[in-house]
Chain A
Amino acid sequence: MSLLAKASAAHLAQLMGPLDSPAFDWLRTPETGGVMVRGRMGGAGAPFNLGEITVTRCALTLRAGGAVGHAYVQGRDKTHAQQAALVDALMQTDAAATIRTTVLEPLQKAAKDRNDSRARKAAATKVDFFTMVRGED
């Protein structure tokens, strides 16, 4: 679910495109709201309220088999939430292996590439200190 929540909606839609969309019924239609993000004072102490993020959630059930899928995704994209919930539901069916290789693994790779690229750029800005020889002895 975390992978689906943070994925780009466009990428998820592109990966889901070729798959047959299964028939489903809404348990809760997509709804956008806010979640209050908390931090901790000093990074370790008591919590405080930092500000909200937009989140879209929904829940559905597959007509075939009745698997229930939930989604909480960042942002306001209702299609994103719907597709994330479909993936969540399909992961509980026989289609799990297919979904894993055609949707989840590519999303995971995209997330890893994005993070690795930033980490490499950050590493290039790491300071190498050197001490000037003062020639005192």
Chain B
Amino acid sequence: MYVAVKGGERAIDNAHAWLAEERRGDLGVAEMSLEQIREQLSLAVNRVMAEGSLYDADLAALAIKQSRGDLIEAIFLIRAYRTTLPRFGASLPVETEEMACDRRISATFKDLPGGQILGPTFDYTHRLLDFKLAAEGQGGAAAEAPASGAPLPHVTEFLNKEGLIQQEVASDETPPDLTREPLEFPANRPLRLQSLTRGDEGFVLSMAYSTQRGYARNHAFVGELRIGRCAVEMEVPELGFAVEIGEIELTECETVNQFQGSKTEPAQFTRGYGLVFGQAERKAISMALVDRALRWEELGEDNVGSPAQDEEFVLSHADNIQATGFLEHIKLPHYVDFQSELELVRKLRAEATEAMSEAAE
């Protein structure tokens, strides 16, 4: 039963005014600009774009500022904004083969064409706090070396040539879109990938970790991880041909997984795939591992009952906005609900007491 309750407007207005004051913090400290957030907290911006499912760094920076750095709140703001945008159409699939790579590494082939390019990575840092940063002494320019401009082919292509890895069959089928139709099960792989790429990084990471620890283990190697910029092309109806309408940074991970063969497939390597907006390699690797675990059925593997194999479990819980919406609503007034529970418990206790006293007589 719902009962309309009025009141609290003044308290809410004042709470919001105080929130604005707290957001600004100490007035003696300079206010942060959106440009500063975009440029200096770029990985937070990337995460908000990826999970908000909208690539716009300025909007993500605004959302981070407005949410006081609460990234899930920021993602919520982006998702809400996204729904107000008219949809102009869909792009052609991005050509990650053509990516202008800042980073490209392989854990399976040491001497791959184009080489191992580390890029601006945290890897190999000592994870010691750098007190020079606290003392404002940030500087240092990146070293440069002549760029060869050599193509960087996908690592899985080498295995493809020998037929040692499962092939990806190209198609132009229109993929399902969970921003347009509600998620239904069984989901196909395009829908799973869309759900994972916008899923919560922590959740997808934990699911991936569970497969490494033995819950549907699939022995993943990072065949290739690349980060860089790709052009976005779209067929423009008024022109009748495709033009580039923008450029986005992407992280792509392809895993190469051990596979013994099954009832339906020969022994060969199989693949997991991760593709995420921005520089987000933890997320991209996690996505690839979970994608691979969810493919058990098409590869004829056994369902060992692990959480990461259960698409309904994974996809229904990957979205942090759905999760936080349902979780946080329980703090809002439930006075009437609770009143009825209270009545019920009192009634049950009274009946039990009555029954006991009757039995004693």
Contacts and interface: CB of A to CB of B under 8 A. Distances in A.
Contact of A48 (B110, B154, B194): B194
Interface of B: 49-50, 53-56, 58-59, 82, 85-94, 96-97, 100-103, 110-111, 115-120, 142-149, 154, 156, 168-179, 189-191, 193-194, 197-198, 231-232, 234, 236, 238-239, 243-248, 250, 252, 254, 271, 273, 275, 277
A123 B144 contact: yes
Contacts of B173: 46-47
A47 B197 CA distance: 14
Nearest to A32: B85
Interface residues on chain A, size class: 35 or more
Interface in A102-135: 115-127, 129
Interface of A: 1-2, 5-6, 31-55, 57, 59, 70, 72-76, 115-127, 129
Most B CB contacts (10 A, CB to CB) among A50, A74, A117 go to A50
Nearest to A77: B58
Contacts, number: 225
Contacts of A120: 144-147
27 contacts: A2-B244, A35-B234, A35-B245, A39-B96, A41-B193, A42-B271, A43-B254, A43-B273, A44-B154, A46-B171, A46-B173, A46-B189, A48-B193, A49-B190, A49-B194, A50-B275, A53-B248, A54-B55, A70-B239, A119-B147, A121-B102, A122-B103, A123-B147, A124-B142, A126-B145, A127-B116, A127-B117
B88 A35 contact: yes
The interface residues of chain B, by DSSP majority, are classed as mixed
A47 B96 contact: no
A95 B18 CA distance: 56
Contact of A121 (B54, B142, B171): B142
Given A44-B170, A45-B169, A72-B245, A37 B55 contact: yes
Most A CB contacts (10 A, CB to CB) among B88, B90, B120, B189 go to B88
A51 B116 contact: no
A123 B85 CA distance: 39
A34 B147 contact: no
Contact of A41 (B49, B118, B178, B273): B273
Given A5-B243, A118-B100, A37 B248 contact: yes
Given A46-B175, A118-B102, A125-B120, 12 more contacts: A36-B179, A38-B93, A43-B154, A44-B168, A48-B189, A48-B194, A49-B179, A52-B53, A119-B100, A119-B149, A126-B145, A129-B111
A115 B147 CA distance: 11
B197 A34 contact: no
A49 B245 contact: no
A77 B246 CA distance: 13
Given A2-B243, A44-B170, A34 B94 contact: no
